[in-house]
Structures are given as structure tokens and as C-alpha cells.
Structure 1
Amino acid sequence: MSKGVRPAITRDWGSDDTGCHVLHVDMDCFFASVELLYRPELVGKPLIVGGSGNRGVVTSATYEARAFGVHAAMPIARARRLCPQAEVVPNRKGVYSEVSAKVMDVLSRVSPVIEKVSVDEAFIDVAGSVRRMGSPVEIARWIRATVRKEVGVPASVGVAAVTHVAKLASTFAKPDGYLLIPAAHTVEFLHSLPASTMPGVGQRAAEICERYGLRTVADLVAVPPARLGAWLGRAQAAALRRYAAGDEVRGIHPQRAEKSVSSEETFEHDVTDAEVLGARVVSQSHALARRLRTSGIVGSTVGIKIRFSDFSTITRSTTLSQPTDVGQEIARAALALLEKVSIPPGGIRLVGTKVEQLRPRSAGVQLALDDDGRERAAESVADRIAARFGDDIIGPARLLSGGRHPGGNWDAKDVP
């Protein structure tokens, strides 16, 4: 959450997103947005997340509280004085990381080139996703809509040709929007900004800029390099000139290769129907398989996660004879595990599916003797159809009747 007030800038820089493959996804007022999932009656009201009582500092606040001057890192006592009508809630341990994981799960469906910068923001390179999902702006819209639909929190997205411009764009896209900075307008956009918005310009550098009348980035670059170096230090001055020129300074640095991919769903009401649970597992299996194929990886271990109504949780897993990226194979294994779980009278709160022991498909996959490759070929065709017409246009036949399996219970040997 930003501590300061964002300056007014031009909101429309054009619609040409050619070459703008860098997206910066930033969750709006993330901790407060998560709290609103648990306290929907507070939507539209001032909400502050932080320490209890008057101790601690503000972690996050809704825009209704920020309107009174509340911001992150502010002492709770001062925040209460500025906005006495606000509801103040303590941080929920563990919940924010769970919601963050769901957001990152959405991003992982777009591209494997992701850098999670913090619990509430990430860079993503969509160069390899344009053919499958559309233009960078279309992908940004899809991300925002999918995060809102599946996770329930707002996300703002900056679309640009380089990382620091995408990050600045996502800041100015708030609340709950997106902003494209076309490659051809990168320098013009940067030069229009206050000097204090540039990466690396902290309080001391901002004070120096103010002292010498350097109010905008354009003012900065107008100063001779030697003089700017004398004022700010040679290294910082050189870095600022690169930022102002629109050069890519940091790049995107994906984390270590994923060890697993997973998908899970918390039901609005606890479920006791085995067929509904089976339908979710089948749907999750095919979604995971599509992610694996998109990323060019296969997995050898399939697992499920079950959370009961009393919040107790179990996990089960099985190792396949050969690694796979085929949804039908994953679903068969997951359903076999699910069949061994007894559903208690209170029902099941959450079901999840996971594929582990990942490795690149290019490392070689040996087909089983009874595998003619038709299942994977059919699913690859489905990938192309879904990419063109949307995920809802095609899917496993068993799910077309709302997840009901005609003729009885789910059978792991009879999967779509």
C-alpha cells in the first residue's frame, strides 16, 4: 500500500500494446481486501488492518480509510485519530499467503515466466502467451477478471515494454484498473512524472531534487550528467538516467522451477455429495494438465487435499508409472484417491488436486505400452479451441451435466 498520494497523470497513452509484454500485477489494498472476504458487511466502509489496540502499525487500509490520510506503516494510534470511525482488525496469520497463492495460481496459467515480488505483487512476461490468450491488454483484462471471480479481490495491472514502467503503470491504474503505456510513448510517460516516482529516489534524493528545482523526470534528464552525479552520487545519477530513458534495468527473474502445481476450491457450503466432489477433481485435473502442457513440463505424482467441515485436513498422493501432462490420467489417479476418503455427515469444505515431481517434457517421456497418445492429442486440440473461444466452450464430457455422473458414483476407471 502506497504511503503517499499519487499525482494526477494522463490516463490514456494510446491503445497500441505491440511489444508491451511486461505486466505488473498489484493487488489493491491487499490485506484489507482479504479481510473484506471475511467481513463483507464492511465493504464501502473505512477498514484498517494492523496491530490490536493502539500498538503496532497499519498494514493496509481501504480507500475509504485512506481518504482520511491513513496509510501503510503509520502508527495505529495515529490512524485511529485520523479516522476514528474506522473498523480496526488485527492481521490474520496464514490467510494472506493462502489468498496470495490463489492469485499466483491464476498468473501461472498465463505464463511460466513470473517473478513474485511480494505477497501482493508480481511481474509476468506474456510474450509466449499472446498467441494463446490474445494481446497483452487482453491478457491484463483476463487476469483482472479471473482474480476477481475466483479469488474475490481486486487487482490492478500495468502493461508496458519494461518492468519499471509496468510497475509505475499499475500504481497509476489503481484503484482496480489497468493502464497501458505503449512502447512508443515510454519516454514521454516517464518524463511527465514527478522525479520522486522514479525507482531509487528516496526521501534524501527527493529533498535534493526539490532543492534544485527538479520536479519532474524531464527536469532530471535536462541536468548535465556530471552535475547530476555531484548532487545525487554518480551511481544513482547514472541509474536514474537509464530509468528515465526507458531502458530495461532490472528484468524479470522467475523463482526456482516449480516443484508442484495445484488447484483447490473452498465450497460456499460444505459438500456431502461424492459426485460433486468428483466433478471438481476432474475439472481441476484438466486445468492442471493444461498448465503443464503450456509450461512444457510433466509430473509423476498426483495428490488430493481434503478439508472437512471441522477444518481438519488430509492429503493423499500416488506416484504414476510414467510422468504425464494428460488431464485424463491425472483425473483417474486423483479419483482413485478420492474414492478412499469417507465423507463425514458434516461434509467437506475444500477439495484440491496437485501434481508433483515435475520435470521438463523435453527431458523425454516414455509412453506406456497401452498408451497410443490419443488422449494427449485430443486434449492439445481442446487447448487450441479453448484459447480461441474461451475455457467454457470445451471440457470433459462428464462435466457437461453440472458434474453429475450418469448411472451412479464416480469410478476411477471410467474417467472422461
Structure 2
Amino acid sequence: MRNAPTILHLDMDAFYASVEQASKPSLRGKAVIVGGLGPRGVVATASYEARVFGVHSAMPMAQARRLAPNAAYLVPRFGIYREISEQVMGLLRELSPLVEPLSLDEAFVDLEAGEAAWDEASARLVGARLRADIRAVTGLAGSVGLAASKMLAKIASEQAKPDGMVVIEPGTERALLGPMSARTLPGVGPATGDHLRRAGIHTVEEIAEAGEDELVRLLGKAHGHALYAMALAHDERPVVAERETKSVSVEDTYDVDIHDRVRVGMEVQRLADRCVRRLREASLSGRTIVLKVRRYDFSTLTRSETLRGPTDDPGVVREAAARLLESVDTTGGVRLLGVGVSGLADYTQEDLFAQAAGEREGRDDLEERGEQTVGGGDVEPVVAVRGVEGAGERRWLAGHDVRHVEYGHGWVQGSGLGRVTVRFETPGSEPGRVRTFRVDDPGLERAEPLPLVAARGGADGGGGGEVPGGAIGADGALGAG
């Protein structure tokens, strides 16, 4: 491990919700919850105003509505999230060639590799400047952790939230980690936490005191060794700029179980096309096609087929997915479908047995695309929550952008019973007026999101500031990511 806090961890504060607040003046300073809005939807991100009511990510949306009935509930707009993420990642790459993105809103940076920082003083300056640059470019707030290792930098950024910076000075790590919960350490989830708790181990200090042999006995050799090292603040993992992508996949969860076999087949075909689009955007192809089906009783089935060579042909992937579906009984209904491709490569090879070779299909509507950047390791499936409307209906999703011929740009507040309610405002305007239209109003159309640059300084992110070095949890602003 190095002797200076030159590994930086950036975590954008309540990213999706903050983007929505910056885009929509009427939502600034108010509770905003982003996620799937159907009865089976889950919370993707909650603004800090919503967290006051106990709402948090991964919570069932129905529970969130009970806790915060007056919050604004919006469907994700992954296109604009990814666009802003690229702006933030560009600022990070100006600091160092070693930037390791973990998601759209989170990354590690090795400041020494880019000669941006070499000691504590220079690291503090870089962290402060980065936070100011992010706010200037995007209008959003990001929290920064600086330490001598990745584990400690991430812990520091968690303690810096919201909109702050924490620096862990080398030599103070053990004293700072000791009183923290064992769940603070990476890899200590609910199951491991239960094992430790039953053994009377609750804090990081108690993990270290238990000793390596006892941890190996409790958790197994690999996990026990790793956990003991982390409890001693040892973490020598490097910042890795490029991580191997192992799979690309997309999933849809449905508000109402699908029973019609023809409809199930159509959904699988649509998912196959979306998956191929993500493959091509990443300049990848794959050999193994995977179908995932979660049935009415929550049982989940996975089927796969390996082709003769890698492909990015939508016809080939659709045919393979259809063959896999034939082996799955969907009689009782389907609540989730997914299509993925693994065995990735950066070239393609014609499948001689594909009848649809060379076929190219049109693209889905933007609001049906759950997009994320293709990063390292196993790429998490992109999840969208869909209803079962007819293919010809116009879908007005809460939070998505629209334009009216008379009133200009706005966003959907809600729809139902043949009506759609729109608030007309832009990132740089004052809070706008609300009007209601028929869902088939010819003057209303979908629109692309407007850039946030016009709202610089307008996003309600608070002042924030740096927490004195080493004072984790003492006088820093605490909060979830």
C-alpha cells in the first residue's frame, strides 16, 4: 500500500434523482423517487428529501409510496444519465489514465498514475477542484473519498455524503476502522454478517481480534483470509482502467403476468434486439445466447445455447432465443424475461445455419431502452418495468420529455384514463405550468432531454465541504450513496 492518500473514489449524490431535479425546476428541493412505477417496481434512486421518509434504493415501489405518498415518482431516463456520466468520467480521465468506472455514477481514480497528486496536500487540492468542476459542468454534486487504498477511499466517500470530501490520512486507518460495523467492509453482506454476529463479532476491530484462523474456520479459507486483511486495513488492489466484459444482458419485469404464449415470444424477440444493440454499441459479439424466465411462482429458469462462432446479428440471436423459449413451460404466466449474450469477442463470424443472417431490424422507442454503459466484470442486466399495452398505443411515462406545438418543452407528470398531464418547463426556466391533454393529442410528441448546462448552479445540492483529514464519521456529513 502507498503512503499517501492518492486513490480517489467519486460517488455522485443520489445521481438519477439529482439529474431529474436539475432537469425539472419544480422538483428542486422536493422528494423525488426514480424507478419502476408498476406494482412490482423497485426504487432505483431516492433524493435526500425522500430519504427523510425512509425511502431507499432497492425498496419495493409500493412500500415507497406508502412512506412518501406525496413524492414525485418518475421512470428512469437512462439516455441522459449516461450522457452526464460521460461528462463526469471525462473530467476524471483528465486527472489520470487509470480510471475504473464501477457504474454510471461511481469510479476510482489513481491520482499518482496521472501525476495529479503525490502527497496529502496535492490530493486534497485535486479532490476539491474535481468537485467544483463537476458542479460547473453538470450542476450536480459528487462526494469524494481519498485514501491509500480502494477500500478506504470508498469508505471515505460514503462518509462524505452528501456533497463532501473525506481524506483518510495514512497511519490512521486502523483506529478509524476499528469501531465501524463489520458490514462496512466489502464482502460482508447479510449472510456473512449473520455468521460473524453469531460468533459475537460486530465491529471491524473485533474481526481483527478474532484472528485469521478463527475467520477461516467461520467463513472458509479465501473469505477468511481476505476479511482479516481488510480488517487490518490492508488492500493492495490496483485501480484498473479496463475490465473484461463477460456478458451483456437486458431484462424486463412486467406489471401483470403474461399468459399469452405469442406475447411471450414477441417480448423475447424484442429483448433479443435490445441486447444486440448493446453489443454493437460496445463493439462486441458473443457465442452463447442466454434466456432467463421468471414464472408466476417466482421460480427462475435459465436456458443457454452456444453458437459455432460469435455473432452480433439480431436475426441469429432472435432465432436462438426463440429455440430456447420452446423448452420453457410458461403456462402459469411470466413475470420477468431476459436475454443475454456471453462468450464475448470483438469480432463476428457468420452462423452458417442462421436463416436470418444479414437481417437488420429497426430500433425500439427511446423510452423502452434501459441503457447502461458496458463496464467491467459481469454487466448487470438492464431492467425496465413494462405493462402489457397494445403495441400501437402511445405510452406517456412519468418524467419523460415531451414537446407540444403550442406550449413547447415539458415533461410527463402522469397519465391514465385517456389523459396525460404535462408540466411545461426547462432546466433553465422557472417552475412551469401544468396542462392536461388527451393521450392521442396530435400536438403532443415525445422529445429528447434538454442539456443541464442551462441550469448550472440551479441544482439544489447544498454547499458541502471537506471533512478534516481522518475525521470519518466525526464532523463529516453522513448519508447513503
Per the alignment, residue 30 of structure 1 pairs with 15
Per the alignment, residue 191 of structure 1 pairs with 178
- Choose between structure 1 and 2: higher strand proportion: 2
Per the alignment, residue 231 of structure 2 pairs with 244
Query: How far does residue 203 in structure 1 lie from its aligned partner after superposition?
Result: 0.6
Q: How does 1:329-408 map to 2 (within 5 A)?
A: none
CA shift in 2, pair 1:206/1:131, >3 Å: closer
Whether 2:81 is the aligned partner of 1:81: answer: no
CA offsets 1:84-141 (integer angstroms, 9 cap, x no match): 1111011113111101001011111211111111111010011111279970011000
Whether 2:204 is the aligned partner of 1:204: answer: no
CA shift in 2, pair 1:224/1:111, >3 Å: closer
User: Normalising by structure 2, what TM-score?
Assistant: 0.48
Q: Is the 8 A contact 1:242 1:249 kept in 2?
A: no
Per the alignment, residue 105 of structure 2 pairs with 120
Query: Which letter does structure 1 place at the counterpart of 2:107?
Result: A
CA offsets 1:228-270 (integer angstroms, 9 cap, x no match): 21212221111011112222242210128xxxxxxxxxxxxxx
Per the alignment, residue 141 of structure 2 pairs with 154
Query: Which letter does structure 2 place at the counterpart of 1:211?
Result: R
CA shift in 2, pair 1:18/1:133, >3 Å: closer
Count of residue pairs brought into register by the alignment: 244
CA offsets 1:178-216 (integer angstroms, 9 cap, x no match): 101001111222222110111100111111222222111
Per the alignment, residue 58 of structure 1 pairs with 43
CA offsets 1:309-352 (integer angstroms, 9 cap, x no match): x9xxxxxxxxxxxxxxxxxxxxxxxxxxxxxxxxxxxxxx98xx
Q: Is the 8 A contact 2:8 2:111 kept in 1?
A: yes
Query: Which letter does structure 2 place at the counterpart of 1:231?
Result: L
Q: Distance in 2 between matches of 1:201 and 1:90?
A: 31
Per the alignment, residue 266 of structure 1 pairs with none
Q: Is the 8 A contact 2:43 2:56 kept in 1?
A: yes
Q: Is the 8 A contact 1:243 1:249 kept in 2?
A: no
Q: How does 1:269-284 map to 2 (within 5 A)?
A: none
Q: Is the 8 A contact 1:144 1:156 kept in 2?
A: yes
Q: Is the 8 A contact 2:4 2:119 kept in 1?
A: no
CA shift in 2, pair 1:94/1:123, >3 Å: same
Q: Distance in 2 between matches of 1:238 and 1:53?
A: 43
Larger relative contact order (Cα-Cα within 8 Å, sequence gap ≥ 6): 2
Q: Is the 8 A contact 1:133 1:139 kept in 2?
A: no
Q: Cα RMSD between the aligned structures?
A: 2.4
Per the alignment, residue 325 of structure 1 pairs with none
Runs of 5+ unmatched residues, structure 2: 244-404, 406-449, 452-481
Q: Is the 8 A contact 1:31 1:49 kept in 2?
A: yes
CA offsets 1:340-368 (integer angstroms, 9 cap, x no match): xxxxxxxxx98xxxxxxxxxxxxxxxxxx
Q: Is the 8 A contact 2:144 2:157 kept in 1?
A: yes
